[in-house]
Amino acid sequence: MEFSAKIRRLAIKEEMRKAADVAEEASNSQAFAAVARAGYAVSGLLHLLIGVIAIQLAVGRGGEADVSGAVTELANKPAAPLLLWACFGACAALALWQLGNAILGYRILPDNKLTKRLSALGQALVFAALAATIMSFVVGRGQNSRESSSDFTVTLMKAPFGVFLLVAIGAGVAITGIVFAVRGFRRKFTKDLALSSSPGVHKFQLWVGVAGYIAKGIALFLVGLLVVIAAVRAQPEQSTGLDGSLKALKEQPYGPYLLAAVALGLIAYGLFLMVKARTLRT
């Protein structure tokens, strides 16, 4: 009995090893990598659209400056179903690719630290959520993200220790924003890119990276701050996601100018993600 149980355990381990080898081979295939990298370009396109909508808000026009608003813009384009399916496929592939990096590690990069695996896991979750948002529009169930943010906050507030969880989530998002801004200031993003030898292209890569990361950091910080405020004041309607954060920024002194600056930064971040899709080191 004991011997047969040992044989079964060894067989299970062998099957798991084979499955891991197959998963690693698939994640490292050039075709799959190309589709996955396109996920960065999709995210870049959405950030471009968010930035454009934010500029419209700064000059007094309407719009929803967040992922849902950006996907809505895509859904209104010609051949929208095909476009949305392509965007979904790219984001889903990138989520799977990053999940593989988180579980199996990086085969080529010598730096295989836990922090890199956690970063890959975080990106896998982000792009999985993005793919889910796009799919909701494909099946005709797209939801206003401002309302969904408030609904999520209400639900969590009713849960045991919900307020503390919300404060922790908001603080985590705000800290992530600070990390993004610091990464932009210190140009840490250059480690992930194959920088061009052409001076003009090289400067463009640096400019969109610095401006984009700082603007993205500011936006995330504002989102996290509003979540914390909503939790502390027990006013879930104040947790309004990115769109509400940008609109709140507009109401501050010199708000339209600040909003326009952040909008241009988000456009720069979108361009950076498109550059990343092309020049990412793998």
More confident residue, 259 or 202: 259
Q: What is the pTM of this model?
A: 0.80
pLDDT at 279: 81
How far is Cα 116 from Cα 50, in angstroms, rounded to an integer?
28
Residue 234 has pLDDT above 70, yes or no: no
pLDDT at 108: 45
As a 3-state breakdown, the chain gives helix, strand, coil percent values, each rounded to 5, of 80, 0, 20
DSSP, res 71: H
More confident residue, 184 or 254: 184
Nearest to 250 by CA among 259, 241, 260, 261: 259
Residue 168 has pLDDT above 70, yes or no: yes
State the total domains in the chain: 1
Tens of pLDDT, residues 31-77: 777 888 899 999 999 999 999 999 999 988 888 888 888 898 888 88
Angle (nearest 5°) at CA 124 between 123 and 127: 80
Residue 237 has pLDDT above 70, yes or no: no
Residue 16 pLDDT level (bands cut at 50, 70, 90): very low
More confident residue, 142 or 64: 64
Gyration radius of the chain's alpha carbons: 21
Out of 74-78, 101-105, 225-229, 248-252, pick the least confident: 101-105
- Read off the tokens for 222: 């504002």
What residues make up the domain containing 10? Answer: 2-279
Residue 29 has pLDDT above 60, yes or no: yes
Check if the beta carbon of residue 91 is closer than 8 Å to that of residue 43. Answer: yes
Out of 104-113, 170-179, 258-267, pick the least confident: 104-113
Q: What is the mean pLDDT of residues 179-202?
A: 84
